[in-house]
Amino acid sequence: MEVALLSVENVSIYYHTPQGETEAVRDLSFSVRRGEFVAVVGPSGCGKTTVLSLIMGLNPPSKGQVRFPQGPCPMGYMLQRDNLLEWRTLERNAQLGLEVRHALNKETKARTVGLLQKYGLGDFLSYLPGQLSGGMRQKGALIRTLALDPELLLLDEPFSALDYQTRLTLADEVFSIIHEEGKTALLVTHDIGEAVSMADRVLVFSDRPATLKKEILLDFPREMTPLVRREQPAFQEYFAAIWKELEK
């Protein structure tokens, strides 16, 4: 079997507040292979985001460990809201990560502009975020993440702040971008349809403390986009299966 890119092993996480101790995650294990698109679904507040910040290294596990068996893995994090800086143009927003890492040069600049152009934002380079639509802003945020050329993308409910129609079309675009750029992705969402339409594999989390309840492999042709997937009979079956699992 192929060596995993990311391996979460027997992780438990406790939260400490003056009111007491909360077990957010209990004995969680899963792995992600290179090039895979994995979705995590679970009830709201079940600790999905905690798992992403754990992988990102922003908060340490109380027990267990996170390993990258293939060596250090550059990661990009996409948040629920785009958080574009209102005083920077789209182009300069997309370069923010490069600036922070002192990696801004002619080459990386051209690459970032190339990404913006390739994914339909070429005409808006000098626009401020306030002049862009919600979908464009979130796409800009994705490109800001991609500009650092991460291997693994951590997507934290990246579509949930958008209206329904934008959500569907943007999911389609983001799916294509991630496949085209050959990235590995871990998507956290409470939207079952989103998970089924985008992922290769869905991990169903339990209510807090989060444990892995079930793992569901999705058997769709690789090139089939989310919008087409939604029209397949299998989509409904997977949806129902995950729904039932969450209800339990």
Partner 1 sequence: MMPYSKEHEAYLRSRRIHGQRVHICRILVLFLFLALWELGGRLGWFDVFILSGPSRVLAAIGRLWAEGSLLLHVGVTLYETVLGFLLGTALGILLAVILWWLPFLNEVMDPYLVVLNALPKIALGPVLIVWIGAGMGSIVVMAVLISLVVTTVTVLGGFTASAEEKQLLMRTLGASKGQTFLKVVLPAGVPHMMSALKISVGMSWVGVIVGEYLVSKSGLGYLIVYGGQVFKLDLVMASVVLLCLLAALMYGAVALLEKRFQK
- The values of phi and psi at residue 231, to 5°, are -90, -5
Instruction: Name the residue nearer to partner 1 (CB basis): 71 or 221.
Output: 71
- Rounded to a whole number of angstroms, the minimum distance from the CB of residue 224 to partner 1 is 31
Pick out residues in 64-83 that bind partner 1 (CB under 8 A).
76-77, 79, 81, 83
Pick out residues in 181-240 that bind partner 1 (CB under 8 A).
none
Instruction: Name the residue nearer to partner 1 (CB basis): 77 or 239.
Output: 77
Instruction: Name the residue nearer to partner 1 (CB basis): 78 or 171.
Output: 78
Instruction: Name the residue nearer to partner 1 (CB basis): 3 or 85.
Output: 85
- Say if residues 5 and 32 touch (Cβ distance below 8 Å): yes
Pick out residues in 29-58 that bind partner 1 (CB under 8 A).
56, 58
- Say if residues 239 and 192 touch (Cβ distance below 8 Å): yes
**What is the x/- site pattern for partner 1, positions 137-166, by CB under 8 A?**
-----------x------------------
Pairing of strands 201-205, 184-189: unpaired
- Rounded to a whole number of angstroms, the minimum distance from the CB of residue 140 to partner 1 is 13
In b/e form, how buried is each residue of 139-168, taking b as 16+ CB within 10 angstroms? bbbbbbbbbbbbbbbbbbbbbeebeeebbb
Q: Is residue 118 part of the contact set for partner 1 (CB under 8 A)?
A: no
Structure tokens at 3: 């060596």
Task: Write down how long the chain is.
Answer: 248
3-state secondary structure of 222: coil
Q: Is residue 3 part of the contact set for partner 1 (CB under 8 A)?
A: no
Determine the residue type at 193: G
Structure tokens at 233: 């009979």
Question: How far apart are alpha carbons 155 and 146 in whole angstroms?
Answer: 12
Size of the site for partner 1 (CB under 8 A): 15
Q: Is residue 179 part of the contact set for partner 1 (CB under 8 A)?
A: no
Residues forming the site for partner 1 (CB under 8 A): 56, 58, 76-77, 79, 81, 83, 85, 87, 96-97, 99-101, 148
